[in-house]
Amino acid sequence: MHRTLVAIATYNERENLPTLVDAVEAALPEADVLIIDDNSPDGTGRWADERAASDPRLSVIHREGKLGLGSATITAFRWALEREYERVATTDADWSHPPEELPALLALTESCDVAIGSRYAPGGKIEGWPFSRRVISRVMNRLTRFLLRVPVKDSSGAFRVYRASALGRIDLGRISSSGYAYLEEIVWRLAAAGATFAEHPITFRDRTVGSSKANLAEARGKFAMLWRCLTSRA
């Protein structure tokens, strides 16, 4: 069994996190879990500290404010590399990703560098999104694949398992997207570094508790990321 860390970035996920941590630990009994909390006013970080006090598999990083999913994930990558984990998994904190699929993603990394829980691989699907959001997501993923020449159908999904050795091939400090756009940017940078990818179909379910963090600023950030990648070198 590879030494694995599951990283979960949080902001106001107090209602979702307890059951999610239980499910992640059940799905990967040998893995550790890292919560990166952006000073959630709803007590998410406080709950994580209380859980960590009695759960040796759980660690918590507290950040001073809402600094974004991308920077939270880069913080987790660095934390994992410093502690010599062999695999790093990422999942949303809102139950959009099915924790029971983590073993399948982990198994895929026996033959690839990055395994992606994919909404757009054959058999994947999305539940709970309006038609307009589905279209926008499809268009952005196809645009990213065409413009950046990345070999994946779902470059904007955060449900992934990375080999730490692949993360070590890129300069994490050069990832400039602090929000959701980091998802496409890191795929691009890893692909440029020679990483290999595999996609495993999942059912993505829109959150039922709490509010989405996606907004217009995040959408603008994705277009800015595409432009930066097109006009720079990995």
Give the number of other Cβ atoms within 10 Å of residue 173's Cβ: 8
pLDDT band at residue 216 using 50, 70 and 90 as cut-offs: low
Q: What integer is the mean pLDDT of 204-229?
A: 71
Which fold would CATH assign to domain 4-230?
Answer: Spore Coat Polysaccharide Biosynthesis Protein SpsA; Chain A (3.90.550)
Q: Are 31 and 4 in contact (CB under 8 A)?
A: yes
Q: What integer is the mean pLDDT of 110-121?
A: 98
pLDDT score, position 228: 81
Q: What integer is the mean pLDDT of 150-169?
A: 97
The closest of 215, 227, 205 to 94, measured between CA atoms, is 205
Give yes or no for residue 233 having a pLDDT over 70: no
d(CA 233, CA 204): 32
pTM: 0.91
Pairing of strands 4-10, 114-118: unpaired
HSE on the CB side for 216, CA within 13 Å? Answer: 0
Give yes or no for residue 218 having a pLDDT over 80: no
Handedness of CA 89, 92, 95, 98 (dihedral sign): negative
pLDDT in tens, 123-154: 999 999 898 889 888 888 998 888 899 999 99
pLDDT score, position 234: 63
- Look up tokens 């590399």; give the residue: 81
pLDDT in tens, 22-61: 999 999 999 999 999 999 999 999 999 999 999 999 999 9
Of residues 83 and 224, more confidently modeled: 83
